[in-house]
Structure 1
Amino acid sequence: MPSISVAEIRPGSKVSKDVITPLGGMLFVKGKILLPRDMEILEAFLIQQVDIEGSEEDAQAMEPSKTPSKGAVKAGSVITASALAKSGSQLHEEYDHMLALIKKCYSSADAAVLPIYELRSGLEAMLAHIKDYHVLDFSPRTLNEQDYIYHNAVLSALTSYKIAQWCGYPQKEWLQVAFAGLLHDIGNAKIDSSIMQKPQPLTMTERNEVRKHTTYGYQILRKVTAINEGVRLAALQHHEKIDGSGYPLRLRGSQIHLYAKIVAVADIFHAMTLKRIYKKAQSPYLVLEEIQKEGFGQLEPSIVQTFIHKTTELHNGTKIRLNDGRNGEIIFSDRSNPTRPLVSVEGKIINLVHSRHLYIQEILT
């Protein structure tokens, strides 16, 4: 099982030992048959030598077709580009129904009891299609800047449900966590619409008023049956930080309810990736990097780590657009740098870990 210089390796050679990146990520597993494109990937990761199985004659005998397989680079991929492209028309139908329902709830939240059973029915109908929801890819059919808060509510419900699943929390909790995501900002119903829709930066007085939405939300939900206390506390605590720097009560760590910690991650992601009246939508990949930074000291690290790992589990071959406008595709995701995979653009392989000025602007379907 000789260790051979990458420059001397021929396509068709079989890897006899796992190939690890300089940062400790798994590049190729033992037994992988190297394809022509894999040579470029090895060079992009600055791999100098690889352990190859058998003799040169054996390697030649195993040489496959020169056409690389999109699925060969990474085992265990969870979603294909075609699956993304087909992403649930029925999900969009239920999403639109949920959007209209939550909008109606906001308009009457301060004057009437929330129609919780109607909300539950709509939520269950939407979550029945959760397999068609991918956090980085899903886009509502219509996006109106004025409706940002309602889109944030429905998207946070979907994403919070996913996070609860990914983190392995009991299944009986999943629907309640989705409720927490859906209703976390319901207190904004009591904030003057002129403040909520203001295109200019808010004054200190206005910012303080907006911060009251957490306590307003808890007050609204306190009289609602069929939801648990975690849903109410998520409305109150989703802006708390585990280092005590959040609001309204400057709670720390275990003082913050689990639902609030989940919703905080979902809310930040959608708040930054949705277009708003006063702010452009940001790249979901840059937002994930920002969330990763906040995971140290402000957000629950285990939730952040799981969220980033799962959302970036895209199939190799997924079409993307870079921030410089060029289109390409993901060819390898290094789990040590999940937001910065190797991409193929105009016949050239780019390692986004090394090309920091570039990043994925959006996923194309």
Structure 2
Amino acid sequence: MPIVSVTEIKPGARITRDVTTPLGGKLFAKGKVVLPRDMEILQAFLIQQIEVEGQEGNTKESPAVPDAKKSAKPQHTITEERLKRVLSPLHHEYDRMLNMVRRTFASAGSGPFPILELRGQLEALVAQLKDYHVLTFMPAMPDRREYQHHKAVLCAMTAYKLSQWIGLPQKDWMQAAFAGLLHDIGNTRVDDSILNKPKPLSGDEAEEMRQHTKYGYQLLRSVTAINDGVKLAALQHHEKLDASGYPLRLGGSQIHIYAKIVAVADIFHAMTLERAYRKADSPYRVLEQIQAESFGKLDPAIVRTFIQRSTELYNGTRVRLSDGRQGTIIYIDRNDPTRPMVQVEGGVVNLTGERHLYIEEITG
């Protein structure tokens, strides 16, 4: 059987020899099917290669114990906190939802829509959202081409939270999650060369890209078990309060509340996820951009609530600043929540006054 580098393993590959840690403990048993989250576990334990069936690989055996000096990287350090995150029920349900979205998007428009199956898994996912924090949840994403699938699941989770935070009735929470999950399903009818183009789109390409809102509505309009708001979110999530959006140039109260919620979630996750041609941006920078660019475009009450609630972190939260320094949050000003005071070695950084700095990542 081929021995494949962990960085090249594809989800669905079957392990043909027990995988052990450098200290000899069994990590995965022979016969296990590799899931997306398993790649992060393998990397966390510094496993370089495993033996699988059904995938091409190199034929050279890797050393039983990897050279830590050569293979260890900061992001792959084994910590209890990291493994708890990878193995959590939330990540497990996330991966199941991701697989279901992958299948649903691949078959969109070619057969019965699996709405009841989606609902069952979505209910299992939201049951774990007590452990979901918008700024710190990091799914394993070994293949950046799966950006659309990850964004769908993340938008579902965030839309569910946002619908709670802004005080919508409980009957709307699951429907708002569906709106987040399915808002971009129309992209399945847009050519991949347009979706993933790293350069600015031409006029014709941009017009085709804008059609995804109509395509999404057409795919959903006859689906039962979701309400009209979910279908309208697919159509309206790029509309703006000042009527400058698309496809219908609606404004203000003409835009459904689910579409307003999804618009915020969509922008946030689009900018904080890695894509094939662009690295992820800092969630704190993205929140500031959403705030700065939301006037007249996004619902200000939803934006304000999203920023306030997503930045509710406890004092002592560990962060990495944009200049590389590590520190802990010691005070959050609720009037400027994206710019807390951070204690670093040698003193305290007040990000309100040092605007050239920002929080790059929450590390613990």
When normalised by structure 2's length, the TM-score is 0.76
Aligned to 2:22: none
Aligned to 2:341: 342
State the distance in 2 between where 1:221 and 1:350 align: 49
3-state SS of the aligned residue for 1:179? helix
Describe the shift of the 1:143–1:239 C-alpha distance in structure 2 as closer, same or farther (beyond 3 A).
farther
Instruction: Look up the equivalent residue of 1:281 and give its one-letter code.
Output: A
Describe the shift of the 1:137–1:349 C-alpha distance in structure 2 as closer, same or farther (beyond 3 A).
same
Displacement of 1:202 in angstroms is: 2.0
3-state SS of the aligned residue for 2:220? helix
- RMSD, aligned CA: 1.5
Gap regions ≥5 residues in structure 2: 1-79
State the distance in 1 between where 2:294 and 2:92 align: 34
Query: Would you say the 8 A contact 1:234–1:259 is kept in 2?
Result: yes
Displacement of 1:323 in angstroms is: 0.7
Matched, 1:165 2:150: no
Instruction: Look up the equivalent residue of 1:245 and give its one-letter code.
Output: S
State the distance in 1 between where 2:182 and 2:208 align: 19
3-state SS of the aligned residue for 1:331? strand
Matched, 1:195 2:194: yes
Describe the superposition over 1:200-233 as per-residue Cα deviations: whole angstroms up to 9, x where unpaired.
3322211111110000000000111000000000
Paired residues for 1:353-364 under 5 Å: 353-364=352-363
> Comparing 288-297 with 171-180, which one deviates more in the overlay?
288-297
Aligned to 1:48: none
Instruction: Look up the equivalent residue of 2:342 and give its one-letter code.
Output: V
Describe the shift of the 1:243–1:226 C-alpha distance in structure 2 as closer, same or farther (beyond 3 A).
same
> Comparing 127-136 with 196-205, which one deviates more in the overlay?
196-205
3-state SS of the aligned residue for 1:350? strand
Paired residues for 1:92-131 under 5 Å: 92-131=91-130
Displacement of 1:295 in angstroms is: 2.7
Aligned length: 284
State the distance in 2 between where 1:85 and 1:237 align: 39
Instruction: Look up the equivalent residue of 1:149 and give its one-letter code.
Output: Q
Q: Percent identity?
A: 61
Describe the shift of the 1:143–1:312 C-alpha distance in structure 2 as closer, same or farther (beyond 3 A).
farther
State the distance in 2 between where 1:143 and 1:97 align: 16
State the distance in 2 between where 1:241 and 1:143 align: 34
Displacement of 1:86 in angstroms is: 4.7
Aligned to 2:317: 318
Matched, 1:289 2:288: yes
3-state SS of the aligned residue for 2:319? strand
Query: Would you say the 8 A contact 1:317–1:331 is kept in 2?
Result: yes
Aligned to 1:142: 141
Displacement of 1:93 in angstroms is: 0.6
Describe the superposition over 1:94-147 as per-residue Cα deviations: whole angstroms up to 9, x where unpaired.
101111110111111021232000000110011110000000000002342100
State the distance in 1 between where 2:309 and 2:84 align: 20
State the distance in 2 between where 1:289 and 1:197 align: 25
Gap regions ≥5 residues in structure 1: 1-81
Structure showing greater Rg = 1
Matched, 1:235 2:226: no
Aligned to 1:12: none
Displacement of 1:344 in angstroms is: 0.6
Describe the shift of the 1:240–1:83 C-alpha distance in structure 2 as closer, same or farther (beyond 3 A).
farther
Displacement of 1:347 in angstroms is: 3.1
> Comparing 198-207 with 325-334, which one deviates more in the overlay?
198-207
State the distance in 1 between where 2:242 and 2:355 align: 29
State the distance in 1 between where 2:142 and 2:302 align: 28
Query: Would you say the 8 A contact 1:165–1:174 is kept in 2?
Result: yes
Aligned to 1:213: 212
Query: Would you say the 8 A contact 1:110–1:190 is kept in 2?
Result: no
Query: Would you say the 8 A contact 1:292–1:304 is kept in 2?
Result: yes
Describe the superposition over 1:307-339 as per-residue Cα deviations: whole angstroms up to 9, x where unpaired.
000000000000000111111110000011100
Displacement of 1:199 in angstroms is: 3.1
